[in-house]
Amino acid sequence: MSMELTMKETIEVIDKELEKLLEHEKKYQDIVFDSINYSLFTGGKRLRPILLLKSCEMFSGSYENAIPFALAIEMIHTYSLIHDDLPAMDDDDFRRGKLTNHKVYGEAMAILAGDGLLNLAFETMIKYTIDNSNIMEDYIRNTKAIGEIAKYSGVYGMIGGQVLDLMSNDVAMDEDKILFMYENKTAALIQASLVSGAILGGAKDEEVENIREFGLNLGLAFQIKDDILDEEEDKEINKLTYATYKGLEAAENKVEELSKKAIELLSKYEDKDIDFLGELTRELIYRSH
């Protein structure tokens, strides 16, 4: 199957399952579900859940048992965008061509919708674990996957990156700090997706570590590529980026280096079907928008 078709099918699964998850009894707090749904179904690329499902499938041939985790990672990604857009943070009025959450539902509801999504992500993973673990191996695998996602989303992961991002206008930045910021702000959730997917697919410890490394290189390349595109499109950027700090050519060389490394790491799995992840990696790195 072509990558585009596989992508389309996987996104359909994710969207359908997300919709089911957000079904709820009509109760007094309805409005927070409206606010959550508004941001959850706003044309996101579903990149992280796709990586999670496809990483699982690569090791086990199927991704059925990874779906709740894929939904969780998308919910975590979405909550981070809602909070990131708030006036006190990036103060963005639009995202993907639509009004941001707080512009529609107000700041207070946007804060609660974000909190609710983060909480629901864990609620979903732990409920699945309780309801679907039949033997001790299931518990080990599921809790390990939750543990990876928790660590990469938290103060030692994505939130840590956001903190540095926030301060990047006020403190002296250097290459080390910029890469630390990218590793946490962007690569962390991509690593969380790939690593938890691999664990759920039954990958061996060594394979998990390899995938972790792959995710780091892919995540950094992805973020620097983003900077380059922003720069080339003359987007108004108020923050220091790798591309503005090192210059366009150095940034392009860095993307090249990182993606070569990523593909190299992936190629270790010659016995598995790595076509999809390989093609997606190239697509993310060589995209022109």
DSSP secondary structure string, 175-210? HHHHHHHHIIIIIHHHHHHHHHHHHHTT--HHHHHH
* 175: nearest Cα among 126, 127, 279, 246: 246
Residue with tokens 């380059």: 228
**159: contact with a second copy by CB under 8 A:** yes
**15: contact with a second copy by CB under 8 A:** no
Min separation Cβ 61 and a second copy, Å: 26
* 98: nearest Cα among 38, 149, 168: 38
Kindly identify the residues of this chain, within the stretch 21-50, that bind a second copy according to CB under 8 A. Answer: 24, 27-29, 31-33, 36
Kindly identify the residues of this chain, within the stretch 180-199, that bind a second copy according to CB under 8 A. Answer: 180-181, 184
CA atoms of 19 and 21, how far apart (whole Å): 5
3-state secondary structure of 56: helix
CA atoms of 122 and 129, how far apart (whole Å): 10
Min separation Cβ 81 and a second copy, Å: 12
Min separation Cβ 6 and a second copy, Å: 31
3-state secondary structure of 288: coil
**210: contact with a second copy by CB under 8 A:** no
**144: contact with a second copy by CB under 8 A:** yes
Query: Side chain identity at 128, as an amino acid letter?
Result: Y
Site residue total, a second copy (CB under 8 A):
58
Min separation Cβ 122 and a second copy, Å: 5
Among the candidate windows 39-47, 119-127, 200-208, 261-269, which touches a second copy by CB under 8 A? 119-127
Parallel, antiparallel or unpaired: strands 98-99 and 94-95: antiparallel
Options 1, 89, 237, 248; binder of a second copy; rule CB under 8 A: 89
* 261: nearest Cα among 227, 210, 223, 206: 210
Options 3, 11, 21, 163; binder of a second copy; rule CB under 8 A: 163
CA atoms of 130 and 124, how far apart (whole Å): 10
Residue with tokens 């591309």: 243
Cβ distance to a second copy smaller for residue 1 or 155: 155
Residues that bind a second copy (CB under 8 A): 24, 27-29, 31-33, 36, 79, 83, 86, 88-89, 106-109, 111-112, 114-116, 118-120, 122-123, 126-127, 129-130, 133, 135-136, 139-140, 143-144, 146-147, 150-151, 153-156, 159-164, 166-167, 177, 180-181, 184
